[in-house]
Structure 1
Amino acid sequence: MSKRILILDDNQDILDIVHETLSYEKFDVKSTSSGEEVMDMVEDFSPDLVILDFRVAGINGGELCKQIKCHPEYKDVPVIIFSAYINHDDELFGYGCDAVINKPFDLTELVEKVNSLIL
């Protein structure tokens, strides 16, 4: 059974590219551009890894990461935060994420980071 990945990004182009890339790598991928949908999707989809854009409308990716990490059933699910705000890695790790990927990013870097966290 393939590993499940949930992606949040409010930039549709980035969402499409990441979704397509990870699907090509044989992951079962679900994606959304709405931060408000993430926790429901985590509960319904039960992902093996979550990728969150830090800056999205409404709740930010860091706060969502905290919610996932505080949830007894999903606290061990690895979370990657995407951020276009370079040099804020320490702040982002403060939310409890397992990795940070700075935008713009290389798709090879993304796939390697994902593989290192869930395979």
Structure 2
Amino acid sequence: MANRILIFDDDIDILSICSYILSEQGWEVFTSENCNDIVKRVRDIAPNVILMDNWIPDTGGIVATRALKNEADLKQIPVVYFSANNDIHTLAQQAGADTFLPKPFDIQELESKINSVLVHD
């Protein structure tokens, strides 16, 4: 069964690029342009990894990530915080994300960061 990744970003181009790259690598990719009903959405999809943008509507990446990390059944899902913000390290820490990826990034950086947090059964 393919690993599942859920990408939260309001930039359609980022979603398209990441979806293409990751699906070529064998991932089952799910995307969202907002983080409304995030807990339900994550439970329904059951991703292995989440990519979370900082500027995602409506609540933002920090609040959305904290909501996931506060759920006992979801907190183990790795969250890769990604943003063009130059203070991304601090934002990722505030959110409780597992790691971060600065935008812009190259394909190798994306793959490496995701593989670094992927839990292998």
Matched, 1:68 2:68: yes
CA–CA separation in structure 2 for the residues paired with 1:73 and 1:50 = 14
CA–CA separation in structure 2 for the residues paired with 1:115 and 1:63 = 25
What TM-score, normalized by structure 2, do the two folds share?
Answer: 0.92
Structure 1 runs (4+) deviating above 3 angstroms are none
Aligned residue for 1:52?
Answer: 52
> Percent same amino acid at aligned positions?
31
CA–CA separation in structure 2 for the residues paired with 1:91 and 1:11 = 19
State the shift of 1:88 in Å: 3.6
Matched, 1:38 2:50: no
CA RMSD of aligned residues (A): 1.2
State the shift of 1:93 in Å: 1.3
Matched, 1:106 2:72: no
State the shift of 1:97 in Å: 0.4
Secondary structure of 2:36's match?
Answer: helix
Indicate how the Cα distance of structure 1 residues 10 and 80 shifts in structure 2: closer, same or farther if over 3 A, else same.
same
Q: CA offsets, 1:12-67, max 9 Å, x none? A: 00011011111111011111112114322201011111111101221111111111
CA–CA separation in structure 2 for the residues paired with 1:30 and 1:48 = 11
Decide whether the 8 Å contact of 1:79 with 1:97 is kept in 2: yes
Decide whether the 8 Å contact of 2:88 with 2:100 is kept in 1: no
State the shift of 1:80 in Å: 0.6
